[in-house]
Chain A
Amino acid sequence: MPKSEFQFCGKTSRPDPRAGEIGRRDFFHRFGQGIGSIAFTSLLAQDGLLAAESGGADPLAPKKPHLPAKAKSVIFLFMSGAPGQMDTFDPKPKLLELHGKPITRKYGSLEKRIYVGSPFKFARHGKSGMEISEIFPHLAKRADKIAVVRAMHTSSEAHTTATFYMNTGVTIPGSPSMGAWTVFGLGTENQNLPAFVVLPDLRGGIFGGSINWSSGYLPAYYQGTLINSVGDPIVDLQPPEGVTKEQQRRDLTLLNELNASQLNSQPRNPHLLTRMKNYELAFRMQTAVPECLDLGKESEATRELYGLDDKQTEPMARKCLMARRLVERGVRFVQIYSDGWDSHENIAREHRNRGLETDKPVAALLADLEQRGLLDQTLVVWGGEFGRTADNSMDFFRSGPGRDHNQNAMVMWMAGAGIKGGTVVGQTDELGITCVENVYHTHDMHATILRLMGLDDMRLTYYHSGRFKRLTDLGGKLIKEVMV
């Protein structure tokens, strides 16, 4: 590999040849030279042609996966704050017996704590008889579609660092998120929409903010785009008020003409052409993004299915429905955040409310994807940044029992493309405090997601800061039990 340098902030890196940097430059170089400015302007006028022509050299153009892929897109449902495993998918009857009993142990400091039994009832569902908490009645009907990984664990017990961990595989800012890695590996199917979309919970921020969808040391075009599910979806996607489409079109035409007349002034500068292309793409995005996010054309049945007209389910319904519309149009990676799972206090009320807010929309997403034939090519992943404890501090217990942070056991589920539905993987101890059998780490989840997308995590590397780096630098084996 030549020692060509692709540089960006904070680091200097050699490109992975598959990033297409070198190829792109060669392409634009030849393209830019061989074409007169007049011919070029007319080319631009034929909307779409340019995109198609340059597709092969674009860093976001679809790329062939390393291995046969099961999934084309990922929808990652991030339950921010961390749901309790024993209140959702990992029932612990023994804990009910111990409810209210004290225990002295170290949580930060040595303290007296009280065991908390789950306030929720579990029942068996589907052919597989999967045990699911009563807070997810809709999802329970789709038990045979999901594979639950019970013996998951992670490496941090603080929200921010654990959220970084889940999204980037490390606790320190500066590394690419799994969405960025995926797009780096596969490109995207729709050039008029962002390849990696993040739909935040509008009630609160995301622990650690944009680091969670950052491209880290990868080139900037792989970073996630934050799309607000209400209001302006992308910052400055639309011009200030009073600026019409016609005005923008005629400004762009003049800009294209002026730029085109200088295109040959710097034959070795690929950016001159890229920028021109970007203006056309941005102009198309102004229409494509709102069209994609416009839920107005969805049928009454769909609105009802997701719970779009119910105040409590509306925010999550909106995001889930948007996610479906995004993957339908070829967006590679969508991440949805749902806030409020950090139930230190009164888990009975809090987790129940979270269930009421998210259960129907999430179950609807699975159903909707399936009925449209999209579930075969979409991987859906659900989970938080860590798990929760079996016990609670005295103070919180008094005001309403809840659970604290626990990195040693957590639960996640997967559904859709390449997933063996109705599976339950791994076992935690009888109180759900720590994993004991078929134990998997969040790194393993990363490896598995990549593999289902057709990417070999060991081959998905990028040269940075002196070595080839990976999403799974700190480990990562496949969770084979969930895979078809």
Chain B
Amino acid sequence: MRYPILRVVPLLAATGAGLAQTGPDFERDIRPVLRGQCVSCHSASKDQSGLAVDTLEGLLRGGSKHGPSIVPGHSDRSPLIHRLRGAVQPRMPMGGKPLAGAEIDRIAKWIDTMKASAGGPVTQTKKKPGWPWTPVAQPSVPAVKNTEWVRNPIDAFVLAKLEEKDLAPAPPVSRRGAYRRLYFSLLGVPPTPEEMKRFLDDPSPDAYKKEVERLLEDRRYGEKWGRHWLDLARYSDTKGGAIDYSRPHMWRYRDYVIRAFNQDRPYDRFIKEQLAGDAFPNYGAEARLGLAFLSQWVQVEQVEREMIRRDFMVDLVDTTASVFLGMTLGCARCHDHKFDPLPTKDYYRIESFFTPITVDVADLPFHQYEAPKIDPARWEKSSKEWKETLDKRDKAIAEFRKQMQERQDQHRILFAGQDLKDWADAGQRKYAVPGDMLQNKEEKARQKLIGRQTARFANPNSPDYHLPKAHIVADNGELLDVVSTKVLAGGNYKLAGEEVKPGFLSAVTGNSDPVNLDGLGGTRRQLLAKWIASPENPLTARVMVNRIWQYHFGKGLVATPSDFGKNGSGTEHKELLDWLAWRFVESGWSIKEIQRLIVNSNVYHLGMNHPREEAAEKIDSENKFFWMRDPIRVEVESIRDSMLAVSGQLNPAMGGPPFFPVANDEQMARAPTWWEPSEVKERSRRTVYMLQSRSFQLPFIKVFDGANMDQTCVTRGVTSVTPQVFALFNSQFSHEQSAEMAKRIGSEAGAEPDKQVDRAFQLTFQRAPSETEREMALKFLRRPEAKPQGNLTELCLVLFNMNEFVFLD
């Protein structure tokens, strides 16, 4: 295929503002010229003579002295042109180089082609924006020809489109394949061979349905689905940036999320807890744990304090709009959104809800559903062990330091440096011989290690993990006296303009009125939270059901799940999405209810082979209409968890501080961070409990498209790159798990190669090997071997590396 020439998407002006025009375009052709030449004096933030020429509104309104700068349709009557041509003095730009004649002509032509609106004032919104800004109503379920195929309304919506396009759905996946899909979809691990057998042997027609219910109640469900939310919440145990301080209590938020999913907490409540958990006392301490959602921003090194605050605010507004509303509001930070009805003012009106916010680490006792209270014995043991580990280390460090100090003291000499007179204390004039000159190689390495162990920066081996504290936010009313929310020109805090009051998105409310803060007890964030978590909000439910769909199918109905705007992917499935959103709200915002519908649908069961694929491909090459199932790549957490599950090493313990994985020594030595790995049982827990460090992501996680947590992660990549081979085929972890799996097979299947092959395939794929596979594997096992179980271990490694291990049927 030849590469088509890149099509440049013209930046269509959304600021037509009641004026129809052809020819030159304000945004594209005019504004850049005016911005370049005029805004140093006449901009929204700096309007000499009250004139701002960088917006259409500003030009139409004109300055305080001479009235409107342009008269639509009449360049000859427009003061802007007179000034630019010098017909009226002083010529503009004053004291600057006049614009080129051609440029002025273009502006004149633009004015001439403008048509005055039918009347009425110029307003920002010309017409009511359409879907997804329209209220969610219950769409009727469409009628289809092939009624037999319809298991629930989802199927009807999808099939109706397929029939319209003359496409037929692919035959379903095998029963075994469906069961594996379900396990990976809901729990993120494969079933055991025994579970598979029980399911396949169950003749009852609702065998599958029963399994769905069972798995939805399995606590491993929260570990799988909580992780999806953690991606969105940019969850990390560290602050990021070069300094990458710890946030040692973040695990409580992680556990909170897992718990919320396991309990199927109503999504509206889940939103309110995370945005304003401090304002809903009846939700209890649990709600305050949700507040850590607001403390996840990357704190990078900045010279100016204002910049640090700006980074924080930008993170809050962008993330909130992206995660809950599926809008790229961030674009409006510097300029009115070019495609969606999101004026810059709205950005700062939303920001205003966050203006008084401060972050804090506060005392918050563990409640009854948290790890420390659920299993006090385990908690006690792990906190005691952690303390002992650190104490032991500190003692060893002190001992080593004392030794080195003593050695150094013996070598004190007078330092013959300059400017000794500047040193007040004569004692300070003594400089030691640099310590490292007195150390042998091991001691030097030790010294370096101690530096890492005791570093304040990037040191996640924190002593604070077990303290009953939490990352929370609170409002500080005093902040409001010092900072007000102002529209910042170009997002630059030095260019503060008009002050704004908190308000919701004008495209939804139809106005830019501020919210009423009178008599509000507690934080103003609660108003934002309630507005987002309201059934009337057109975006919230649509965005969330789309995400649920996405995590089941690998792509959303809207393929840009955090951009429901004009420039996002859009969707062919508005009715289905609306029906799901309606159902979602009606079910009491139950995520599990939507999942129940999805996994019980025929669409979910579509196979990956289509008898008339070529024809279907011609009609819909991207499978937008779901005529077959797209490839399903297992997420990296599930790859690692599956290896542990299959090898029998998976430690099912839930919750608590993160475990520290083993990292390649050399790489770790050069990473900005360092940690001591946890002991083997602890680090054989599910990947969701692994330390999430911003400055060092484990290569295994990274190469398989693990979430980068510097920003909200909307969609994981699905790439197949060479370093994945190194991770899965060469890493110590893979080899260890292969050896463990071989041991397990040895004890479960005995020494007979035939049975071993069977068991190996059953454990890994929950199926018997095909005849060819059996032959190949047996031939492989029957080679003479150098060490006991060597061949079997290698076979296990090969199975972990098979396509089938990372791509489901």
Interfacial chain A residues near B780, Cβ < 8 Å = 250, 254
* B250 lies within 8 A of chain A by Cβ: no
Interfacial chain B residues near A243, Cβ < 8 Å = 735
Contact B807 A272 (CB under 8 A): yes
A468 and B9 in contact, given A158-B302, A240-B735, A265-B809 (Cβ under 8 angstroms): yes
CA distance A242 to B725 in the complex (A): 18
Give A223-280 interface residues, CB cut-off 8 Å to B. 225, 228, 231-232, 234-240, 243, 247-248, 250-251, 254-255, 257-259, 261-262, 265-269, 271-272, 274-276, 278-279
Interfacial chain B residues near A200, Cβ < 8 Å = 670
CA distance A259 to B703 in the complex (A): 21
A231 and B666 in contact, given A12-B560, A209-B672, A261-B772 (Cβ under 8 angstroms): yes
Determine how close the nearest CB of chain B comes to the CB of A272; give it in whole angstroms: 5
Chain A residue with the shortest CB-CB distance to B339: A466
Of A17-25, A68-76, A140-148, A409-417, the one contacting chain B is A17-25
Question: Can you list, as one digit per residue, whether each of B289-312 has a CB less than 8 Å from chain A (1) or not (0)?
Answer: 000000000101111000000000
CA distance A467 to B794 in the complex (A): 48
Contact B6 A234 (CB under 8 A): no
A7 and B303 in contact, given A205-B671, A466-B328 (Cβ under 8 angstroms): no
- List residues of chain B with CB under 8 Å of any chain A CB: 1-9, 231, 240-242, 298, 300-303, 328, 331, 338-339, 418-419, 422, 555, 559-563, 565, 567-570, 608-609, 613, 621-623, 628, 630-631, 633, 664, 666-667, 670-672, 695-697, 699, 703, 705-708, 710-727, 729-732, 735, 770, 772-773, 776-777, 780, 783, 794-795, 797-798, 801-804, 806-807, 809
CA distance A183 to B718 in the complex (A): 19
Contact A158 B631 (CB under 8 A): no
Determine how close the nearest CB of chain A comes to the CB of B9; give it in whole angstroms: 7
Contact A269 B608 (CB under 8 A): yes
* A94 lies within 8 A of chain B by Cβ: no
Contact A10 B608 (CB under 8 A): no
Contact B721 A278 (CB under 8 A): yes
Contact B729 A279 (CB under 8 A): yes
Shortest Cβ-Cβ A-B pairs, 5 listed: A8-B717, A282-B725, A269-B631, A5-B559, A236-B726
Interfacial chain B residues near A238, Cβ < 8 Å = 730
Say which residue of A225, A265, A278, A467 sits within 8 Å of B608 (CB atoms): A265
Contact B422 A22 (CB under 8 A): no
A17 and B6 in contact, given A12-B563, A271-B633 (Cβ under 8 angstroms): yes
Contact B710 A174 (CB under 8 A): yes
Contact A12 B714 (CB under 8 A): yes
Give A133-176 interface residues, CB cut-off 8 Å to B. 156-161, 171, 173-174
Determine how close the nearest CB of chain B comes to the CB of A476; give it in whole angstroms: 16
Determine how close the nearest CB of chain B comes to the CB of A469; give it in whole angstroms: 12
CA distance A202 to B669 in the complex (A): 9
Contact B4 A8 (CB under 8 A): no
Say which residue of B331, B631, B670, B708 sits within 8 Å of A466 (CB atoms): B331
Interfacial chain A residues near B664, Cβ < 8 Å = 232, 235-236
* A296 lies within 8 A of chain B by Cβ: no
Which of A22, A231, A265 gathers the greatest number of chain B CB atoms within 10 Å?
A: A265
Contact B4 A255 (CB under 8 A): no
Contact A5 B569 (CB under 8 A): yes
Determine how close the nearest CB of chain A comes to the CB of B20; give it in whole angstroms: 25
* A219 lies within 8 A of chain B by Cβ: yes
Chain B residue with the shortest CB-CB distance to A257: B776
Interfacial chain A residues near B717, Cβ < 8 Å = 7-9, 219-220
Interfacial chain A residues near B1, Cβ < 8 Å = 22-23, 26-27, 57
Interfacial chain A residues near B3, Cβ < 8 Å = 17-18, 20, 23
Which of B726, B727, B802, B803 gathers the greatest number of chain A CB atoms within 10 Å?
A: B803
CA distance A160 to B667 in the complex (A): 20
Contact A9 B241 (CB under 8 A): no
CA distance A258 to B795 in the complex (A): 11
A465 and B563 in contact, given A17-B3, A220-B717 (Cβ under 8 angstroms): yes
Residue pairs across A and B with Cβ atoms less than 8 A apart, 16 shown, are A8-B705, A8-B715, A11-B715, A12-B562, A17-B3, A22-B1, A57-B1, A159-B242, A161-B300, A173-B240, A254-B777, A266-B807, A269-B631, A271-B807, A275-B806, A279-B801
Contact A268 B631 (CB under 8 A): yes
Chain B residue with the shortest CB-CB distance to A5: B559
Interfacial chain B residues near A27, Cβ < 8 Å = 1
Interfacial chain A residues near B795, Cβ < 8 Å = 254
Determine how close the nearest CB of chain A comes to the CB of B771; give it in whole angstroms: 10
* A16 lies within 8 A of chain B by Cβ: yes
CA distance A466 to B783 in the complex (A): 57
- List residues of chain A with CB under 8 Å of any chain B CB: 1-5, 7-12, 14, 16-18, 20, 22-23, 26-27, 57, 108, 156-161, 171, 173-174, 200, 202, 205, 207-211, 219-221, 225, 228, 231-232, 234-240, 243, 247-248, 250-251, 254-255, 257-259, 261-262, 265-269, 271-272, 274-276, 278-279, 281-282, 285, 398-400, 459, 461, 465-468
Contact A9 B716 (CB under 8 A): yes
Contact B609 A8 (CB under 8 A): no
Chain A residue with the shortest CB-CB distance to B566: A466
Given contacts A160-B241, A231-B666, A466-B565, 10 further A-B contacts (CB under 8 A): A9-B708, A17-B4, A161-B301, A173-B240, A208-B241, A219-B719, A240-B730, A266-B609, A267-B609, A467-B9
Interfacial chain A residues near B727, Cβ < 8 Å = 236
CA distance A231 to B665 in the complex (A): 11
Contact B6 A461 (CB under 8 A): yes
Determine how close the nearest CB of chain A comes to the CB of B633; give it in whole angstroms: 7
Contact A220 B719 (CB under 8 A): yes
Contact B714 A10 (CB under 8 A): yes
Chain A residue with the shortest CB-CB distance to B2: A23
Contact B720 A251 (CB under 8 A): no
A220 and B735 in contact, given A8-B719, A236-B699, A269-B807 (Cβ under 8 angstroms): no
Contact B773 A271 (CB under 8 A): no
Say which residue of B6, B339, B672, B716 sits within 8 Å of A459 (CB atoms): B6
Contact B711 A235 (CB under 8 A): no
Interfacial chain A residues near B422, Cβ < 8 Å = 398
Interfacial chain A residues near B797, Cβ < 8 Å = 251
Interfacial chain B residues near A468, Cβ < 8 Å = 8-9
CA distance A208 to B715 in the complex (A): 24
Interfacial chain A residues near B302, Cβ < 8 Å = 158, 161
CA distance A21 to B622 in the complex (A): 12
Interfacial chain A residues near B803, Cβ < 8 Å = 259, 262, 271-272, 275-276
CA distance A10 to B798 in the complex (A): 32
CA distance A251 to B723 in the complex (A): 18
Determine how close the nearest CB of chain B comes to the CB of A187; give it in whole angstroms: 12
Contact A268 B563 (CB under 8 A): no
Determine how close the nearest CB of chain B comes to the CB of A404; give it in whole angstroms: 11
Contact A7 B798 (CB under 8 A): no
Say which residue of B570, B713, B722, B783 sits within 8 Å of A10 (CB atoms): B713
A12 and B561 in contact, given A258-B773, A271-B633, A466-B568 (Cβ under 8 angstroms): yes
Determine how close the nearest CB of chain B comes to the CB of A170; give it in whole angstroms: 12
Interfacial chain A residues near B729, Cβ < 8 Å = 239, 248, 251, 279, 282
Chain A residue with the shortest CB-CB distance to B724: A278
Interfacial chain A residues near B8, Cβ < 8 Å = 468
Interfacial chain A residues near B807, Cβ < 8 Å = 266, 269, 271-272
A398 and B809 in contact, given A26-B1, A259-B802, A282-B725 (Cβ under 8 angstroms): no
Contact A278 B715 (CB under 8 A): no
Interfacial chain A residues near B718, Cβ < 8 Å = 7-8, 271
Contact B705 A9 (CB under 8 A): yes
CA distance A4 to B617 in the complex (A): 13
CA distance A285 to B729 in the complex (A): 13
Contact B696 A18 (CB under 8 A): no
CA distance A276 to B628 in the complex (A): 24
Contact A10 B670 (CB under 8 A): no
Interfacial chain A residues near B715, Cβ < 8 Å = 7-12
Interfacial chain B residues near A278, Cβ < 8 Å = 720-722, 724-725
Chain A residue with the shortest CB-CB distance to B736: A240
Determine how close the nearest CB of chain B comes to the CB of A2; give it in whole angstroms: 7
